[in-house]
Amino acid sequence: MSLETVADRPKTLLPVPTHYCPGCGHGVIHRLVAEVIDELGIRGKTAIVAPVGCAVLLYNYFGLDAYEAAHGRAPSIATGCKRVRPDLVVFTYQGDGDFAAIGTAEAVHVAARGEKITTIFVNNAIYGMTGGQMAPTTLIGQKSTTCINGRSAETAGYPIRMCEMLATLSGVAYVARVAVSSPKYVVQAKKSIKKAFETQIKGLGYSLVEVLSQCPTNWHMTPVESTKWVEERMMQYYPLGEFKASKEA
Partner 1 sequence: MAKKEFMSGNDSIAEAAIQAGCRFYSGYPITPQNEIGERMSWRLPQVGGGFIQAESEVSAIYMVFGAAGAGARAMTSSSSPGISLMQEGISYIAAAELPCVIVNMMRGGPGLGGIQPSQSDYFQATKGGGHGDYHLLVLAPSTAQEAVNLTMLAFDLADKYRNPVMILGDGNIGQMMEPVEFKPPEKPFVTKKDWIIGGAKNRPNNIIKTLYLDPVVLERRNLGIAHKLSEAVRNEVRFESYMAEDAEIIIAAYGTVARIVKTAIKILRDEGIKVGLLRPISLYPFPSQAFAQAAEKVKNMLVVEMSLGQMLEDINLAVCNKTKVHFYGRVGGIVPSYDEIVAQVERIVKEAK
Binding site for partner 1 (CB under 8 A): 43-47, 49-50, 56-57, 59, 62-70, 73, 76-85, 87-88, 105-106, 108-109, 113
| Alpha carbons 130 and 195: distance in angstroms, whole number | 32
| Least spacing, CB of residue 161 vs partner 1, in Å | 21
Q: In terms of CB distance, is 128 or 216 closer to partner 1?
A: 128
Give the list of residues 6+ apart from residue 5 with CB closer than 8 angstroms, or none: none
**Longest CA span, the chain:** 66
| Least spacing, CB of residue 80 vs partner 1, in Å | 3
Q: In terms of CB distance, is 96 or 115 closer to partner 1?
A: 115
Q: In terms of CB distance, is 62 or 93 closer to partner 1?
A: 62
Instruction: Calculate the alpha carbon distances from 111 to 133, 209, 247 in Å.
Output: 27, 12, 18
Each residue of 142-154: b (16+ CB within 10 Å) or e?
Answer: bbbeebeeebeee
Q: In terms of CB distance, is 79 or 218 closer to partner 1?
A: 79
Q: In terms of CB distance, is 9 or 85 closer to partner 1?
A: 85
| Least spacing, CB of residue 72 vs partner 1, in Å | 9
Q: In terms of CB distance, is 38 or 68 closer to partner 1?
A: 68
| Alpha carbons 149 and 5: distance in angstroms, whole number | 50
| Backbone angle region of 121, left / alpha / beta, with phi > 0 → left and psi within -120 to 50 → alpha | beta
Closest CA to 179 of 228, 142, 217, 143: 228
| Alpha carbons 89 and 81: distance in angstroms, whole number | 10
| Least spacing, CB of residue 43 vs partner 1, in Å | 8
> What's the count of helices (H) and strands (E) in the chain, helices before strands?
10, 7
| Least spacing, CB of residue 56 vs partner 1, in Å | 6
| Least spacing, CB of residue 244 vs partner 1, in Å | 21
